[in-house]
Structure 1
Amino acid sequence: MIAWFRKMSERAQRQNVERTIELLVRAAKEVDLELLHGRTPSEDGRRCLISMQRALLVDVVGPVPIDVLRKDYLEPILASDRFGEGEKLAVRHVFESAEKSGRRTGLEIVSWEEFKRRVLMGWSPRMGMSIYQALSFDCACGERHLFGQAAPLKELPGMRLVLSCPRLAANGTCVKVKGLFRIRLESEFGSVGD
């Protein structure tokens, strides 16, 4: 069941990435044409371009690792003669931003004592967690794991969970459940144990 859900999530993410890249390339092409003709791009054109870049930045965060998405989507665009420099730059900028900050944004590594202090007021997990099984999160160990592989240790206020690392149980990561229709896990802080 978990494998099926993960496969469906990956397929949905890939479809979203493909669709958004297509829209981003179109918007970048329009802005690029304005610049090539010596005109200032319209405000609507610039807004559309920025909006598509933000949408793609959201789409690349999911169960498919960013390096796989880069290989499958960005590298073919960069190698193709079908796309202009402006289009390539617009897409490359999103991937570079995602690689720099997207996956690990907000994951603060703290000492084991600080970690215990922050999760002290938590309680035993009571929320239904079956829908999170195929979601992935950034672990304090530096790897990305599936929620279903980690043991939920505590529940904290604000839809946050403390998860143990599947590789080394002494590592812990606090994740926040984000989103309503597109649920994702955002790692907030973690510790590599004693």
Structure 2
Amino acid sequence: MSRAFPHIDFRREVTVGHLLADITTAHGLGGKVNPPLRPRDDVEALWEHLLDGTVDWVVSDHACCREEVKFGEPEDDVFLAKAGFGGAEYLLPGLLTEGTKRGLSLGRIAALTSWNPARRYGLRTKGGLAPGFDADIALVDPGRAWTVRAAESESTQQYTPFEGFELTAQVTDTFLRGNHILRAGKAVGPPLGAYLHRPTGAA
């Protein structure tokens, strides 16, 4: 709840990019984003707020585009580069890698990435595993170490600010409304995503 506006029910979010990367670890201009990445002290402050419950959910803030759209000419001009980058595939691996070492439980990770935002936006069939909910499931191997390489990603984005990051968990399979859309780390089948309208009067 905001002290300045006590009548407004605020919620706070943070992106996985701002929890993983800082101004010294982000790989090149691919890390340009709004708000900008910050020094490591600021990153750790975000983790503290996440752990104490001040932050309500964590998002990917996925803003994926190909290199020719992201970078200007010349490519090393930070003022010509567009802000934003893809983050969906690093959301759960990043939270498990960095969160568990800080004491963040698996249940809390599930709440931060699914239950909390689904409730806030009135998506009543999302965010949980129970009768009446959509079968949206991500299977994560918490013991699979890997190195982030844009060239090995299923995304058409040809760069990532997380290039070279060592992660200790990986999403192996994903189900969307019960349909197996990621199998053993590879996208399968036709696109099945659908736009979800936020219900009027959602809490």
Normalising by structure 2, what TM-score? 0.26
The structure with the largest alpha-carbon Rg is: 1
Normalising by structure 1, what TM-score? 0.26
> Where is the helix percentage greater, Structure 1 or Structure 2?
1
